[in-house]
Amino acid sequence: MLAIWLMGRRMLNKLLAILLLPGCVFSPAVQSVADSAAIPVTDTLKLVFAGDVMGHGMQITGAWRDGGDTCYNYHPVFQWVKDYISAADIAVANLEVTLAGAPYTGYPRFSSHQSLAYALQDAGFDVLLTANNHALDRGKKGMERTLHILDSIGMLHTGTFRDSTEREAHYPLMVEKNNFRLALLNYTYDANGLAVEKPNVINLMDTLQMAEDLVRAHSLKPDFIIACVHWGEEYKNTESAAQRQIAAFLARNGCHLIVGSHPHVVQPFAKIAVNAGDSVPVIYSLGNFISNQRDRYRDGGITLELTLTKTDSAVTIQSIGYEPFWVYRYRENKVSVFRLIRINHYLEHPESYPAISEKDRKLMMQFYHDANTGK
């Protein structure tokens, strides 16, 4: 159960553009995880997976406020978690918006300013997942522009493709770092009923296609195979039978880790038995990473932390854990702005943060309690 896993982690912690409005210019660095020659090769790799990166209307307004009402600036949203994300060797998040250009809108057809991608990269994210139910919110042009923006800043991505030729050349996404070779797969249950326009491709949860993709993944001889799946029922604190079935299918077909998104709340962690004595970890939902959802269970999320160790004979999971995050929303000059708080760090170093109202602190601690107990 998630509660057991999370409580164990808590104990461990105690021991341890085409624009109508301009975007701020931050000159994002163009780089690839695979090209980080400055980082020495080791036999250890730390991975961090974050949940849903949303772009509701109030977040868009807040980014304009953070840009001094002259440009969109998402960097302050992540300023208190940048050190944590950047410390990972590879950090992955679910980009559940399009970067389709103006007009910038939230639910139900998301399009955020491209400065969101710049800020995610600056915060330390290396890979963004694009197969989700909002991938086609702005149709073919919106999906392709999203890919163009990510490519233009050197952000690795997977899940949607301009055409089948691109998918064939770049899927599964192979990521190399610290002498590890990872295969990353990404699928969604649907695109809110919107049909993909040819020649575009979006990875759907088709088990026949997924089985073929896993055969191809194994043929590329990775050290570790990860499937990130957009699935489940929104706002449900437990996984569905369908999620368990897909997870079991992925485990049987050779995935080493399964990471879920979409429900916008944290769902349980489990291990799926495969072969003799082996098991595959699955987190059914990480919840929201950043959003304007304020109801209980939805105003935060967790990151999954995984450390891999590689020897001459095998790759093993050395440790697995989590970190809870809360979305702090407050008013600045009559406009709501957003900041992510890593709750454990806040509790250990409250002096590093501005004064938070007692009401907000209670909401944050309610989320923290829910995450730590699996309630």
Give the tens place of pLDDT for each residue, 101-110.
999 999 999 9
Compute the distance between CA of residue 245 and CA of residue 162 in angstroms, rounded to an integer. Answer: 30
pLDDT of 12 over the 60 cut: no
**pLDDT given for residue 116 in this prediction:** 98
Distant-in-sequence, close-in-space partners of 365: CB < 8 Å, separation ≥ 6: none
Domain that holds residue 221: 2-373
β-pairing, 269-274 vs 201-202, is unpaired
**pLDDT given for residue 24 in this prediction:** 55
Place 3 in a pLDDT band, splitting at 50, 70 and 90: very low
Query: How would you classify residue 354: left for phi > 0, otherwise alpha for psi between -120 and 50, otherwise beta?
Result: beta
If you average pLDDT over residues 308-323, what whole number do you get? Answer: 93
Place 26 in a pLDDT band, splitting at 50, 70 and 90: very low
3 state DSSP class of 286: strand
CATH no. for residue 353? 3.60.21.10
DSSP assigned state of 46: E
- Better-scored residue on pLDDT, 372 or 141: 141
Give percent above pLDDT 90 in the chain. Answer: 85
Place 368 in a pLDDT band, splitting at 50, 70 and 90: very high
pTM of the model: 0.90
**pLDDT given for residue 104 in this prediction:** 97
Compute the distance between CA of residue 201 and CA of residue 159 in angstroms, rounded to an integer. Answer: 8
Polymer length of the chain: 375
For 359, counting Cβ atoms within 10 Å of its Cβ (0-12 exposed, 13-18 middle, 19+ buried), the class is exposed
pLDDT of 313 over the 90 cut: no
β-pairing, 269-274 vs 278-283, is antiparallel
| Arithmetic mean of pLDDT over the chain | 90
- Give me the half-sphere count of Cα atoms (radius 13 Å) on the Cβ side of residue 256: 19
**pLDDT given for residue 275 in this prediction:** 83
Residue type, 375: K
If you average pLDDT over residues 137-164, what whole number do you get? Answer: 98
Per-residue CA distances from 360 to 39, 42, 201, 294, 303 (Å)? 40, 42, 42, 11, 21
Compute the distance between CA of residue 330 and CA of residue 294 in angstroms, rounded to an integer. Answer: 12
**pLDDT given for residue 21 in this prediction:** 45
- Residues 166-194 have pLDDT tens digits of 999 999 999 999 999 999 999 999 999 99
Closest C-alpha among 347, 310, 344, 328 to residue 47: 310
If you average pLDDT over residues 330-340, what whole number do you get? Answer: 95
Q: What pairs with residue 316 in β-bridges?
A: 309
Residue 273 sits at φ, ψ, to 5 deg, of -70, 130
pLDDT of 347 over the 90 cut: yes
**pLDDT given for residue 277 in this prediction:** 79
Place 23 in a pLDDT band, splitting at 50, 70 and 90: low
**pLDDT given for residue 375 in this prediction:** 61
pLDDT of 2 over the 50 cut: no
Place 35 in a pLDDT band, splitting at 50, 70 and 90: low
pLDDT of 234 over the 90 cut: yes
Least confident segment among 4-18, 130-144, 272-286, 361-375:
4-18
Domain count, the chain: 1
